[in-house]
Amino acid sequence: MESIRRYLQFVKPYRFQIIGTIIIGIIKFSIPLIIPLLIKYVVDNIIGSHSLSQHVKIQKLLYIMFTMLVVFVVLRPPIEYYRQYFAQWTANKILYEIRDQLYTHIQKLSFKYYSNTRSGEIISRIINDVEQTKTFVISGLMNLWLDIATIVLAIIMMFIMNGPLTVISILLFPFYAISVRYFFGNLRKLTRIRSQALAEVQSYLHERVEGMPVIKSFAIEKYEQTQFAKQNSNFLTKALQHTSWNAKSYAVVNTITDIAPLIVIGYSAYLVIQHSLTLGTMVAFFAYIDKLYNPLRRLVNSSTTVTQSFASMDRVFELMDEKYDIVDRDSATECVDVKGNIIFENVSFSYGEKEEMVLKNISINVKKGETVALVGMSGGGKSTLVSLIPRFYDVTEGSILLDGIDIRNYQIQSLRDKIGVVFQDNILFSESVKENIMLGRPEATMEEVILAAKAANAHEFILNLPEGYDTKVGERGVKLSGGQKQRIAIARIFLKNPPLIILDEATSALDLESEHLIQETLQELAKDRTTFIVAHRLSTITHADRIVVIEYGKIVEMGKHDELMNRRGSYYKLFQVQQLEQKETEVV
């Protein structure tokens, strides 16, 4: 199977550890196989002996029991410890490598992938499914061979004692193999369906936990309870289908493994009655049956869990096989010494092959250090246009040149390193204020962090927080106001100090007082840098070197504020409407 072959590539670097663990395990499982021989010796050679005195019998019994105590108390515990430790160490290292590669992979996936995929689904695959594959390492690559070795050793010892009785003991093996093949063939499919249903529940729950303020504000708890019940019920149905098939397999296989001891007891008792077998051999054989069929039962359990791990492998590699929409060209070079000249040459863009163009034949020539504002009605394509510069998406037609070179000829990471983006809804991580600012440049010193915060007009409010720069901001910065979050996001950009700045409606969600405070900061940030501003409030961009009006994906006007106002076109109308709305708000 392809998934197993690929998974073994992660296992390969640890093959010697796995082999070593198996060897230690074989030693560990071989020790209990001495017990049936011990029973035979005690019954036939000590208890059943007519030539030994009572004193000699007790002496022999004490001697052999002391030897066994040394083996089981002194020798076996460290063997058991190292078998368990090395097995878990190896499995966890393999899981670490897989998760590490998956995290690298998901960071390369484009915005398009994340817009079409629920975050809970991704988390489920990286956490739950990867963890489930651990069973394949422990049970499939280690315990499987240990159980097989135990079975083989038990059969060898049984053959030495009595060949015909051994054949009777393993008579049901073919039926066991057929039943396992039949029942567990369909289990992988059912396990995969169950895992998908569980991932959907997790995705739904993840979204609702994040959106709990919306649920509470609309008082729709009962409705949401019903919706969650549907997701939960779907998982329950799939889980019960999986459980039903699993239970049938256990019922049949365990019945087969339970019949075998009955056959051995009956036949061996007959041989004892016929004086063809010693009582000690009969008791030892029955003990070996337990050693023989217990590993078989474990193999049944392993078959279930390993089958589940196969389904999880499929889901893990399905995520790992997601194609990158944005990739480096083979000839891509590092982006260095950026001056900041940007040219859009007949740029058109569509989010999908069958979807209509969001941007149509856009051409703009932006000089180094120039501030360009993009305005227009919502849905016109402003944010889409600026998202093409750092290659969050690639142009469908045309090209974007940075200092005369198509941005697709630059290495993606080095290109984005030269661009600072401030979004309308900037995400802060739940770490400290300092750590959130240092995302702009992780290797920065504390002095540089403070300077960036001061430049972003954030230093004063940070000092007033309970633990200053070490204050934890909570998930998505929930403990901070909108204005405070934006100033921390701006401080990141000051710390990064890139030559290109994109401000995507960075103040539209703020009140006027906060907006005025941040506006001064943004103008300071834009000094001597090529800056693109996507703005909703036109009063915030009147200082721009050029204003571009975009409607329905096309440029309809371009010029300075005064020029556009004198033309009395689309920009003039938008400005007049906003001025009127502002006056009405002030009156109210």
Task: Name which residue leads in pLDDT, 386 or 263.
Answer: 386
Lowest mean pLDDT among 50-64, 77-91, 298-312, 388-402: 298-312
User: 546: closest CA among 247, 344, 378?
Assistant: 344
pLDDT for the residue 587 = 44
Lowest mean pLDDT among 60-69, 178-187, 377-386: 178-187
Q: Where are the alpha helices (DSSP H) in 321-431?
A: 382-387, 412-416
pLDDT in tens, 49-77: 778 788 888 888 888 888 888 888 888 88
Q: Predicted confidence band at 362 (pLDDT cuts at 50, 70, 90)?
A: very high
Find out whether 147 and 299 touch, Cβ atoms under 8 Å. yes
Lowest mean pLDDT among 303-307, 490-494, 534-538, 543-547: 303-307
Through-space distance between the first and last CA atoms of the chain, rounded to whole angstroms: 70
pLDDT in tens, 341-359: 999 999 999 987 778 899 9
pLDDT in tens, 435-462: 989 988 899 999 999 998 988 888 888 9
pLDDT at residue 385 tops 90: yes
pLDDT for the residue 577 = 79
Q: What is the pLDDT of the chain when averaged over all its residues? A: 84
Task: Name which residue leads in pLDDT, 87 or 175.
Answer: 87
Tell me how far the alpha carbon of residue 393 is from its chain's centroid. Answer: 23
Strand, helix or coil for residue 545: coil
User: 396: closest CA among 334, 338, 325?
Assistant: 325
Give Rg (Cα) of the chain: 36
Q: How far apart are CA 457 and CA 493, in angstroms?
A: 13
pLDDT for the residue 213 = 66
Average pLDDT over residues 547-572: 90
> Could you tell me the sign of the dihedral formed by the alpha carbons of 39, 40, 46, 47, in that order?
positive
Find out whether 547 and 531 touch, Cβ atoms under 8 Å. no
pLDDT for the residue 400 = 94
Answer yes or no: pTM beyond 0.85: no
Lowest mean pLDDT among 80-94, 187-201, 235-249, 404-418: 187-201
pLDDT for the residue 588 = 45
pLDDT at residue 364 tops 90: yes
Average pLDDT over residues 316-333: 88
pLDDT for the residue 582 = 57
Q: How far apart are CA 347 and CA 395, in angstroms?
A: 7
